[in-house]
Amino acid sequence: MPSSSKLKNLRKLLKKQSERNKCRFTRARVYSIDYKDVATLQKMVSQQGKMYGRKRTGTRSHFQRKLKRAIKRARFMALLPYVGR
Amino acid sequence: MTTRNYEAMFILENNAASADFDGTAGKVDEILEKHGGTIVQKDKWDERKLAYEIKGQRRGTYYLVYMTADPASVSSMYEDLHLTEVVLRFMFIALDKPIEEHIATTEAERERLAEDSRRSSLGWGGGRRGARGAPRKRDDKPTGSAETGSAEGGDKPAEATTEAKADDSAPATSGEKPAGDDGAAGTPEKEAASKS
């Protein structure tokens, strides 16, 4: 049987992990996603310039839709590539 | 006449803009004002490399304008801007908030997002491989003498794969740095968890 302190540690770890798995835009309490914020958008896109799926990034569907629009705007303004790098 | 708030971004030709920014930006302002737009705020946003070539140009100067205008007049602005040679590309976005409020909130949100990615142990999205790989790499060295050799043997291939992953995607490498700070603190817990 694990001792109580070890259980506490385990719970702490689980809590930490669940916090991590949340959507980053939910965590930052964002209203909209700005296409000019290239540093953030770059994290949601692969080396090839393809957008990461929700399963990979944990983004809420609400924000994934906003993200889609922001990435497409950034691509049009040549802030992000359409393909390759 | 209805008016709407707009955010307009222009990519200006770099040679013209670096020689005389106010002059080239003035051409854009002129067009906007000719068709009844009132400029609220204008900035030189950045001078940067384009992600891909536009009209043979590799670099461009970005010009950001906030204005109010009649939605009906925007299409005539488009026509004139398409004919202007110093404007490589432009985009108008209708804002759903007053301009000052929009600028303030986007600025605050950008800072919060940057702060979050700095503090987050993942650094990016939900990349579990990157997150697990980084802390293991660190605590293996100090605990290596205490732990048995078999544990080390099991971990080494995992390290190799995470490094390979880090090489082919830039976000993963940036994610490993913040992961290290938190990971060092989190590893005793992980060990305790695995023992129990």
> Which residue from B131, B108, B171, B129 is spatially nearest to A20, judged by alpha carbons?
B131
- At A81, which CATH number? 4.10.640.10
ipTM: 0.74
Domain contains A72: yes
> Which residue from B57, B63, B50 is spatially nearest to B17, judged by alpha carbons?
B63
Nearest to A20 among B9, B113, B120 (CB): B120
Q: Which residue segment(s) compose the domain that A46 sits in? A: 23-85
Name residues whose C-beta falls within 8 Å of residue B102's C-beta, 6 or more positions apart in sequence. Answer: B5, B7, B66, B95
Does any CB of chain A come closer than 8 Å to the CB of residue B122? yes
Domain contains A1: no
Q: Write out chain A residues lying below 8 Å of B119, CB-based.
A: none
CA distance B26 to B22: 6
Domain contains A68: yes
Does any CB of chain A come closer than 8 Å to the CB of residue B104? no
> Nearest residue of A to residue B110 by CA position?
A37
Given this structure, which CATH class describes domain B4-97?
A: alpha beta
CA distance B80 to B83: 5
pLDDT tens track, chain B, 196 positions: 789 999 999 999 999 988 989 999 999 999 999 998 899 999 899 899 999 999 999 999 999 999 999 999 999 999 999 999 999 999 999 999 899 999 999 999 998 888 888 776 444 444 444 444 444 444 444 443 444 444 444 444 444 444 444 444 444 444 444 444 444 444 444 444 444 4
CA distance B20 to B34: 21
Do the chains contact at A78 and B189, CB–CB below 8 Å? no
Domain count within chain A: 1
Edge-to-edge strand list for the sheet holding B87-94: B38-54, B57-69, B4-13, B87-94
Q: Check if the beta carbon of residue B39 is closer than 8 Å to that of residue B15.
A: no
Tens-place pLDDT, residues A24-83? 888 888 888 999 999 889 989 998 999 999 988 888 999 999 999 999 999 999 999 998
Sequence ranges of the domains in chain B = 4-97, 120-195
